[in-house]
Structure 1
Amino acid sequence: MKKTILDLSESKGCPIEVDSAISFVPFIEYLRRKVKEENTVKAFLYKNALQEFEAQISDEEDISLDNIYKFELLLEHMYACLSPTLATEDTLAWGLCFPVQPITFYGTDLMYHLLETKNHDHNAYVISKTPEEHYKERLQLLYSFILKKLYNFQPPVKTHQFHTGIKTDTGLQEFFHVQINTDFIDVKAKEELPQLTIRELQQYLSDESGLDTLQHLLPLSLFEFRGISVLTVSDVTALHAVENIKKVRLTRSPGAEEASYAEVIQSLKTLVQNNNIHFDLFPFVKVNNKMVYGYVKGGSGVLFSVWGEQTLSPETFQQYAEGYAANPNSFYSPDILAESKEMFPWLDKFIALGVRSLALIPVFYDHAVVGVLGMHTWSGEAFDETTLSLLEPALNPIAQLLQVYIDEFNLEIENIIKEKYTSIQPSVQWKFNEAAWHHLHDKKKHLPARNESIGFNNVYPFYGAIDIRNSTAERNSASKADLGLHLSMLEETLLSLRSHDQSSLIEEMLFNCKKWNGILKEGELNTTEENNLNIFLKEETTEYLRHVAQTQPRAKEMIQKYLEIMSSGNGEVYKNRQALEVSMQMINTAINNYFEAEKEKLQLTYPCYFEKFRTDGVEYDIYIGQSIAPDRPFSNFHLKNLRLWQLSSMTHVVKMMKQLLPDLPVKLSTTQLIFIHNHTIDISFRADERKFDVEGAYNIRYQMIKKRIDKVLIRGSQERLTQPDKLALIYFNRRDIEDYLPFVKYLQETGVLHADTEDLELEDLQGLSGLKALRVLVL
């Protein structure tokens, strides 16, 4: 154990003045309780320690920091009683501190090593917190402690915290977990405390100036603190790096794959604490059970340079990849220049790229190889087997991430097939198989080809729509904001160019900037105006600025800076539209994934045709009936199950969107609509549109209704029927809705839907009148 007084507040600034002193009294009380409660042999440890404390310490005795080492034996007893039995001083960062002050006076060598390294080597770190933030953090901890002890109120402030710094020599983060145990500190009020209710305390703590209010109501000078803090410090850099990889896998959003994979690569560098080691993720994807090229998703790109389509033919790649997958072995060399070229001829390509140290690690998911994790350094750098072992905790998350990539690749292939080539689903595959067999039979028998239609008669339709609320208005708003910023930046650039270019053309450009700004402020742009504005911004002004840059060298740097900002798809002038697009994709992906999973469950109950459409949201058509599955008995119970599922799935979507809301860059909401048609219709497959459509005049009317009800208003008002957090059921006849009412009541009684329902009449639509609706709030 080490005896050194270390003041950690020196580099933090903003000291806090409090009446505090070291005292063993709270710990003595703890020992007395443990002696009474402990039934194991540890009772002897506590009893022996208590005897030592009572022999040397009198009640209410304060101890100065200068005299603390007179009680070294007592400090050793505290360490023995409070540290884990199997922990040793070289593996446990543990210490004792002055109460409510960042002053450590006793601890293990490892703790002092961690604290002194950060304290003395301060210039080697970029610290993520300012002195003011440290001051506020300490105040929060102090008042959390006071309120818990004296008001029996536990604010949502953690006594354990993560501290992070970035090493300036590597650019990599380091994470430290600091646990402050205040169980052995007593706080007493010197005067009578003001009466504060729990509601008042919650209000103060939730308010931005809550700490200032507490300092006024409960000044720190009102309290005295006596005892000892126990400090535990852990280096959790590796744990954070692995957790970050898991987080990337779980929170990836459409459109941000490149950034997500770059974050994974950075986490691997953090894990090995070496910015000179480079990584590559090389997933193995298959089409028709044969290896094909994937796409670069992160890393240096070395593996794709050596094994990619620019180097190997598809046939050669397939041969190499399948040979490796059949016998996946790890490879490691600290210096590939020293390896035998006869044994490893394939290293030549890595050598040509300038690689020195190289490791290739097969990654397995569910006992199958899903890719390769590549690890290398360039010439002049190297790593050893010890560094390789640091990657062990990350292999499982990396495997899961590669499997997600493979699943996404397969889903993308599947979606392309469904979208561009067929509308065939397993539930109706048999009908296409039958028609194909008839065609093949006639062909083999040299008979005239049958003009066979694929259709299903007397099926029950189910329609639902989840729409993103005000998506058009949100798009217009985002577009206006981005275009306005673009115009402002262009105008600023043009004004700066006046000193370099005195032509009339620049004045005309400035006039157009102001004109377009005026149009934007007046209201929404129509499609023609927006196209004209984009032509002005992206074509006319760009060509002009490039011309000026060529003729006026002094203006080149300024123009280049503007053009770079404009050319970047992720630039400032696209941020609102990108944020909206990401939010809409997140919503649609979540809903689409949910219904994909639900579709599979529905097929287990009874085969049905389930088709989804992506609009500004998700719509679906479900068809079910005896003709879909002639070999399985169909009954009214299958209809009842689907009706209940339709209601329940919509309520689940509402709850799912509420959970997703905090993660959306733009806060959007959805509306939920069901159209009830409890009569059978006929559907047939239209080869020209590659989808099923309704047949007959009466059935076509059903299709027409679906297309017109999404923005229907309540009769006699301007209120839209569909509203966020509510489920709307549209119908024509009362007997149609009656089949749903028992399930609505069931969901109300189980707390899924609100007890109150709205029975509404809807406005007449073109060719439609008499529509009604039931609307209910989802809890």
Structure 2
Amino acid sequence: MDINDSIESPMMLKVGFNKLLEHYENLAKSDDEFLSAKAKRVLKTAKPYPELRDGFSETQILKDREKEISVILQDSFAPVLTTNEIKTASVPFHDLIFNSSERFKNIIKIAGDGFELNIKNMPDDDRYIIACTIILNFCYGYNLNFKRPFYYEIPDANGILRYYKILYNADFCEIIPTEKAKEITKEDYDELLDNFENVALWKEKFPVESYIFKGFVISNIFDVTEDQSISNIKSSLIGEDKRKEEGFMDSFHEIFRSLLGINDIKVGFSIYNEEDDIFERVYGVGMHSYLLGDSENSKCSDSLCHWSYHRLLKEKKFFSVSDVDRDFDISKGKAPHIANLKNQGVKSAIFAPIANDEGLMGIIEIVSSTPQTLNSINANKLVDVMPFIVSAVERSKNDEENLIEAIIQKECTSIHPSVHWRFAKEAKEFIKDEMEGREASFKKIAFNNIYPLYGQIDIKGSSEARNKATRQDLTLQLKAIKNVLVKASEIETLPIYEQFIYQIDTYQKGLNENFQVDSEQQISNFFKDDIEPLLKHLYVVDVLKEEIQTYYDSIDDKVNVLYKHRKDYDDTIAKINVEMASLLDKKQVEAQQMYPHYFERFKTDGVEHNMYIGESITKEDSFNRIYLYNLRLWQLQVMCEMENAYYLMQSDFPVALDVASMILVFNQPLSISFRMDEKQFDVDGTYNARYEIVKKRVDKAYIKGTKERVTQKGKISIVYSQKQDELEYLSYIKFLQSKHYLDTDIEIVELQDLQAVTGLKAIRVSVLYHKNEDDKAFYTYDDLMKEIKS
């Protein structure tokens, strides 16, 4: 029998090993004696049979030369990997396989006698055309990217369909034109590029068997069942038409069976009606709800027990029932969802919420008639598919406007309202491209010729405060350990106790005199490696048990260290950030009403904010620099108000910390663009990058010729570089002085040069404070501190 029988191709197929044998000829000359000897043995095996090098198409030769072919391919099919790798040797576009790994043979054997191996996604018409594209690449040098993934679908021992991706290695192939081959001109190539589906045209340019394929391909095959199942779920859920088809649920069951590797499962759905707090049946061909059973709808509290209700509706997390009968007995039939499952003959189940940020939309129910088949472990596989199910439900509930929002959220995360229009425009283009069959991509979002404003209210001495809190906590923990060790040494005199007490004293001294960056880590390692094992040993001593328990009671369970002063510090930072950010957000609402602009803020050790204003953001022919001046004045005023608000609430914080405020003035307009990878706006261009450099470094800058930082508690520092900025802000300060926001102690200072940035100056002026919200008097920072402490 000839392998070319019953197939139509531009290539006459011949199995041959010439390319591989040429490779062994090179290896035979190797300095490596082992490689050389092995190559010579292969060449010796092939030499008596020239057809192995020249190529052949008779299948009988494959049988007659099976032993020799096995020797030639031994390196390609390493015996040590044969039970692990899924690998075959064959010719392209043909089901003939003449060598394979043991694992591949086992997979085919398990599939059964009636199974026929076929490439799943290779239409017959495409085989001819793809063979032609290979010839164009191989013989004419055209770089046509015709590659696409090919798959086998093979059932396993349980009848579950598994997916295997095929990767071809075509290094050992030759393609040779025959007399029938037509010369392909550039005009022919150009015509073919636009006529992929015109089989008749391809056959005209590449007549049947006008080229000889000589060689073989190695197929490396990988089990991608889970990935393909996820992809299939995604494909099944795209478009409402598919979901209305009769076989939709049957195929959906099959996909989930492949994903979970379980044959005995079914899938159901129920909709959550938030307004009435009820579950409702999903209407559609083959749709069923195992949570509702025969009911059309049911109150959520009547369908679930208290725990499962909270899990699904409040926490929005999935849960499993691995053994329905067991749980029915434990709950004495009082858990409604368990009772309902038992009545339907279900033995194990998984319930997963279909939820987005707005809340629960429905429940996906996976059930089995076998106990423990579904459980909390394999339930985790749903994590990868839930996003697609959520998206499908959202699409069925939302119109185009919501779809635009979904695209924006997917591509760009949360977007400030001032620039939302620009993202919506690109989202519409994205949808338009998808609908018209073009490759959709979210284009670059950029705004040119806009003015930046930057401000921060920074916590002064945060590092020192953190270090102080750390020293206090470590001191307390060391003291507590020392107490235990002293008592232990009174009961039993051991040198190791003395050594540990000495170590503790050394650490105590270090904390008091020279706290280093790694001190915290060293002492933590001492507690973990030396003290913890010792305390476990000493805990059995009755006299020490109470002392040791007192120590353990002082340790925070989450961080596993004594976390008192550091918690106070961390809570203070968190509260400062929340309060300051909340105040700034409220003030921003007012500012947007004056004139729309971009705004973003960040919580660090304090709160920073960026603002950008300009024509390209507002998309209206209305921008005037007066709006920029207005926003600058607003910013300065709000910074004063934030300073006041902070010191009014300072006494409520666990740790008393000071803050310092700074505004950076940048006179020239710049360009910003949205960084898709970082999900935020950033400046464009080398010149504009100078602005970002100054932003990151200026609050740590010193006044020229001194070691005094430009930012100081009780003062607002306005950093700038142009004389016109100085005059502008002095006018704002004068106005705010008349409103009793600022004091009269204006100073203008020069800053030491920053890296790549020179010529910066700063205006510093003290803020005036109120003692409380009803107080009409004005205080300097020092006056306020005296009032607070009196």
Give the structure-1-normalised TM-score: 0.46
Higher relative contact order (CA 8 A, sep 6+): 1
